[in-house]
Structure 1
Amino acid sequence: MPTTNTPSSNVPPAPFTAGDYRARMARAARSAADAGLAGLLVAPGPDLVHLTGHRPVTTERLTLLVLADGRDPVLVVPTLEAPDAGHAPGAPALTLRDWTDGTDPYTVAADLLDRTGRYGVSDNAWAMHLLGLQKQLPDTSYVALTEALPMLRAVKDASELARLEAAGAAADEAYGEILKVRFSGRKESEIAADLAHLLLSFGHSQVDFTVVGSGPNGADPHHEAGERTIGRGDMVVLDFGGLKHGYGSDTTRTVHVGEPTAEEQHVHDVVRAAQQAGFDAVRPGAACQDVDRAARAVVASAGYGEYFIHRTGHGIGVTTHEPPYMIEGEERPLVPGMCFSIEPGIYLPGRFGVRIEDIVTVTETGGRRFNNTPREMAIVE
C-alpha cells in the first residue's frame, strides 16, 4: 500500500454561512418563479445539501424543503430528526415544521402549498412521498428539477470553485502516487484499493468510484475493478474520484504496463488530442454541445468515431455527476463558473480502451483545468 505525506491542500476552507444558504434558497425560489413554478419541493439529497447544508439520513419518513418566491423557506422534518435539522448550517435561514409518528406528514406539507400550483421536485424524491402529496392536493402538478431548473447548481461561486480545485488537486496527488506502485501481477481490485486509500490520505472524506479497467476490461467505460490480474502489455484505464470538503473530484488517466504497441500509442494520442480539442472549445457563450462536437470530431476523423460511445462530459459539484452535460443537442450556453468534465474515450471491444479526463471550469476568457497531471501515456511496472 502506498504511503503519503499530508499536503497543505488538506487545510479546510472557511465553512459556508447561514447567509450563503439564505441567498441560495432565495435565488432558487426566484428561478422557480421565473420558470412559471409555484415553488420547489426538495427532498434529502444533493439539492438539499446545496441549499441548506442539511444531510439527513434517508428514510421512509418525509423530509421536505418548501421554497416559494416571497415566502420564508420551510423545512418539514420528522420530530425525532428536528434537533439535527436545527443544527444544520443553513438552519438559521429556515423555519422548521415538524411532524410526529402517527400523524400524516402530507397534511403538514400540503398546508404550505398552493392547492393548484405546479412545483419543481428534486429528482431523488421518493415516489411514495410525491403520491402522498398528490393525494392531499389532487389539483397540483409536478415536474422534475432536472427538466425545470437544470442549471440550479451549475454555476459555482468562488468558495465552491476553491473546493472543487482542492478536490482536483488531491486527485492529482493520488494519481502521482499510484504511478509508483507495481501494477503487473496484481489484481485490478488491489490497484483500486490503493487509489481509494490515496484519495482518503489526500483529504477526501468519501470515495465514490475507483475504476481500474485493464486490457479488454478497459473497453467497458464503467468497468468495476475486478479480480483480473494485470499483466505486462496491458493498457489500464484509471478513473477515480469522490468528495473533499463536500465537493467532487473526477479524473481519468490511461497508463500502460511496459512499452505500448504503435497502435496503442496512436489511440492514446488520438484521445489526448480530442481531450485538448474539447478544452479549447470552452469559452463563455459556446454551447455545451460544442465541447462534445470538438472532441468527437477528432476521434471521428481518426476513424474511431463508432468507438466513442458516451457523452464528452458531465457537471460536477456536491455530486460527481450533475448538469450541465457536454452532449449533442444540449444548446445551453457555457457561463463563467460552470464546472464539468471533458473525457473523450475510445473503446475497442475485447482489446483495450483509452480515456483521459479533466475537470474544467469556465472563466471569463475560456477554460481552466482542475486536473493538471500529465496527459501523455505513463509507463508503469
Structure 2
Amino acid sequence: MTQTEPRAADLFTAERLALARRAAAAAGLDALLVTPGADLRYLTGYHALATERLTCLVVPAEGDPFLVVPALEKPAAQASPAGNLGIEITGFGETDDAYRLIARRLPPNTRLFAVDNHMWAEKLLAFQAALPGAQPGLAGDVLSVLRMRKSPAEVAALRRAGAAIDRVHRRIGEWLRPGRTEREVARDVAAAILDAGHATADFVIVGSGPNGASPHHEVSDRVIRAGDPVVVDIGGTTPDGYCSDSTRTYAVGEPPAAFRELYDVLLRAQTAQTEAVRPGVTAEELDAVGRDLITAAGYGEHFVHRTGHGIGMETHEEPYIVAGSTRPLAAGMAFSVEPGIYLPGTFGARVEDIVICTEDGGERLNLTGRDLVVLPG
C-alpha cells in the first residue's frame, strides 16, 4: 500500500462520530438516525444493504452512538470498519420491532430527531409511530457541513479516484471511432472503469454529434460519424467509497470550424475557473468567472447548468458551485468545475475536473489534457 492509498482506519475514525454528536447537540437535536447510504458509510465505513429490514446508526446528542442491524447481518457489520470504532453493534431478530427497540433506548423526553436525507418514507413513518410527540428533521443539515471539508485521508482517496478515471480517459481512443454506436462505446468504457480500480461504474455518458448538446444524455443507438464531437462524462466509486467524475470532449476526425471556436471559449472559461479556486472566493463568484467569459463570447444562453457540485462519498453533494450561493470556499472542499456549451440539435462540449480547495489555491485531481483530442476519423 502506498502513502497515497488511504487505510480504512484513516478514513473511518471515531472522531467523525464525535463530531456528529456535537453537531447534533449544537443544532438542538436529541438524536441522529442514519440508515444505509452515504451518511452511514461516512460515519462508520459500513456499506450496508438497504432493504425492508432496518439498519440504523443512532447518534444521541448525549450518550454513546450504537448501530442496530438485522441479526443475520451483524457479522457483516462487525467485519466492516464499523467493527473497529468501539461502538455497540446490536442485532435484532426477525420478529423484533427494531424501531421500538431504538425508541426505548432514547431519552424519554426526546422531542426532535433527525433522519438521513435518503431514509425510506416507510422507515421514517415507523420512527414517527415509535416516537409519538417527537418531530423529525433532516440530518443532512448537520452532516453535510462535516462531509463538505475533506480530511487529508479523504483528499488522498479522491486523488486516487481521480487518477483511476484519468486512466480510462487516456484509453478512449481504443473504443471511440466511426461506425460504432454510443451504446457499444459505453459498454467498453464501463468495463474499463472497473478495470481501472473502481468498485462500481456509476455512469457513462457518450453524447455524439447533436446528442452532445443534451448535458445529461446517457447513451443511445446513434452511430458515431466522422467529424462528430463527442462528450464523454464518466465516473465510479472506489472500494473505499469515494467517487470519481471527469468529462472530456473528443472529436472523431476533424470537427466543424464552429465547434473549434466554441471549444476554445469553453476551455478558456474552465481554465480560468480552476485557476480562480482559493479560500474565501464564494461559490457564485467562481461560477461567474467562467459564465462571464462564455457570455462575453456570445454563448451565455447555451451554458444551462451550474458550474459544479461537491464530491466525496456521493458524486453530487455539497458544496454546489452555482449562482446565488454565497458560501465561501474553504480548504478541504472538493468539487467539480465543469462549464459546458450546448447548441441544441448541433453539438455540445463540456470539460470537467475535480478540484480540491487548498490553503492557498486549488489542486486539480484530473490531470489528463484539456485540449481537444482529435481521434482518427
TM-score range, shorter chain: over 0.9
Partner of 2:24: 32
For 1:300 and 1:94, the matched residues in 2 are separated by 53
1:185 and 2:185 correspond: no
Matches within 5 A, 1:52-67: 52-67=44-59
1:100 and 2:105 correspond: no
- Corresponding letter in the other structure for 2:190: A
Q: 1:230 to 1:19 in 2, by over 3 A?
A: closer
Partner of 1:307: 302
Q: 1:286 to 1:14 in 2, by over 3 A?
A: closer
- Corresponding letter in the other structure for 1:144: L
Kindly indicate whether the alpha-carbon contact (under 8 Å) linking 1:271 and 1:299 is maintained by their aligned counterparts in 2.
Answer: yes
TM superposition shift of 1:38:
2.0
1:138 and 2:132 correspond: yes
Deviating more after overlay: 92-101 vs 214-223: 92-101
1:364 and 2:359 correspond: yes
For 1:17 and 1:170, the matched residues in 2 are separated by 22
Percent identity among equivalent residues?
46
TM superposition shift of 1:182:
4.5
- Corresponding letter in the other structure for 1:126: W
Of 119, 125, 128, the residue aligned with 1:125 is 119
Partner of 1:112: 105
Q: Which digits, 9 at most, give the CA deviation of each residue in 1:316-370, with x for residues without a partner?
A: 1122111111112222221111111000001111111110000000001010000
Can you give the 5+ residue segments of structure 2 that lack an aligned partner in the other structure? none
Partner of 2:321: 326
For 1:378 and 1:266, the matched residues in 2 are separated by 14
- Corresponding letter in the other structure for 2:255: P
Matches within 5 A, 1:213-292: 213-245=207-239, 246-292=241-287
TM superposition shift of 1:273:
1.4
For 1:289 and 1:177, the matched residues in 2 are separated by 35
1:46 and 2:35 correspond: no
Can you give the 5+ residue segments of structure 1 that lack an aligned partner in the other structure? 1-7
Q: 1:146 to 1:20 in 2, by over 3 A?
A: closer
Of 167, 188, 197, the residue aligned with 1:194 is 188
**TM-score using structure 1 length:** 0.93
Length, aligned pairs only: 373
SS of alignment partner, residue 279 of structure 2? coil
Partner of 2:293: 298
For 1:270 and 1:147, the matched residues in 2 are separated by 37
Kindly indicate whether the alpha-carbon contact (under 8 Å) linking 1:17 and 1:90 is maintained by their aligned counterparts in 2.
Answer: no
TM superposition shift of 1:90:
2.0
TM superposition shift of 1:13:
2.3
- Corresponding letter in the other structure for 1:152: L
- Corresponding letter in the other structure for 2:46: H
- Corresponding letter in the other structure for 1:212: V
1:72 and 2:58 correspond: no
TM superposition shift of 1:112:
2.9
For 1:18 and 1:88, the matched residues in 2 are separated by 14
For 1:353 and 1:20, the matched residues in 2 are separated by 40
Partner of 1:4: none
- Corresponding letter in the other structure for 1:101: E
1:375 and 2:370 correspond: yes
Kindly indicate whether the alpha-carbon contact (under 8 Å) linking 1:22 and 1:90 is maintained by their aligned counterparts in 2.
Answer: no
- Corresponding letter in the other structure for 1:109: I
Kindly indicate whether the alpha-carbon contact (under 8 Å) linking 1:232 and 1:258 is maintained by their aligned counterparts in 2.
Answer: yes
For 2:62 and 2:7, the matched residues in 1 are separated by 27
Partner of 2:348: 353
TM superposition shift of 1:137:
1.3
**TM-score using structure 2 length:** 0.94
TM superposition shift of 1:310:
1.2
Kindly indicate whether the alpha-carbon contact (under 8 Å) linking 2:11 and 2:153 is maintained by their aligned counterparts in 1.
Answer: no
Of 197, 203, 210, the residue aligned with 1:209 is 203
Q: Which digits, 9 at most, give the CA deviation of each residue in 1:242-267, with x for residues without a partner?
A: 01242111000111111122210111
Partner of 2:74: 82
Of 170, 177, 187, the residue aligned with 1:176 is 170
